[in-house]
Amino acid sequence: PKSSLSPQKYYPPDFDPAKIPKLKLPKDRQYVVRLMAPFNMRELGICGSGGVWSRIPTLSRVFPPQTDPENTDYTMEHGATRNFQAEKLLEEEEKRLQKEREEEELNNPMKVLENRTKDSKLEMEVLENLQELKELNQRQANVDFEAMLKQYKELEEEQRRREQE
Confidence of residue 154 (pLDDT cuts 50, 70, 90): very high
Average predicted confidence (pLDDT) for the chain:
81
CB-CB contact of 74 with 40 (8 Å): no
Among 51, 79, 75, CA closest to 65: 75
Tell the burial category of 51 from Cβ atoms under 10 Å away from its Cβ (0-12, 13-18, 19+).
Answer: middle
| Cα–Cα distance for residue pair 102/112, rounded to 1 Å | 9
Q: How far is CA 117 from the centre of its chain?
A: 37
Q: What is the pLDDT of residue 67?
A: 85
More reliable by pLDDT, 100 or 61: 100
- Which of the residue ranges 44-48, 59-63, 100-104 has the most confident prediction, judged by mean pLDDT? 100-104
Which are the contacts of 82, defined by CB distance < 8 A and separation ≥ 6?
A: 39, 40, 41, 42, 76
Tell the burial category of 156 from Cβ atoms under 10 Å away from its Cβ (0-12, 13-18, 19+).
Answer: exposed
Condensed to tens digits (0 to 9), the pLDDT of residues 136-149 reads: 888 877 777 788 88
- Judging by DSSP bridges, how do beta strands 80-82 and 73-75 pair with one another? unpaired
3-class secondary structure, 49: coil
Among 37, 36, 42, CA closest to 82: 42
Confidence of residue 51 (pLDDT cuts 50, 70, 90): very low
Residue type, 80: A
**What pTM does this model have?**
0.35
Q: What is the pLDDT of residue 64?
A: 73
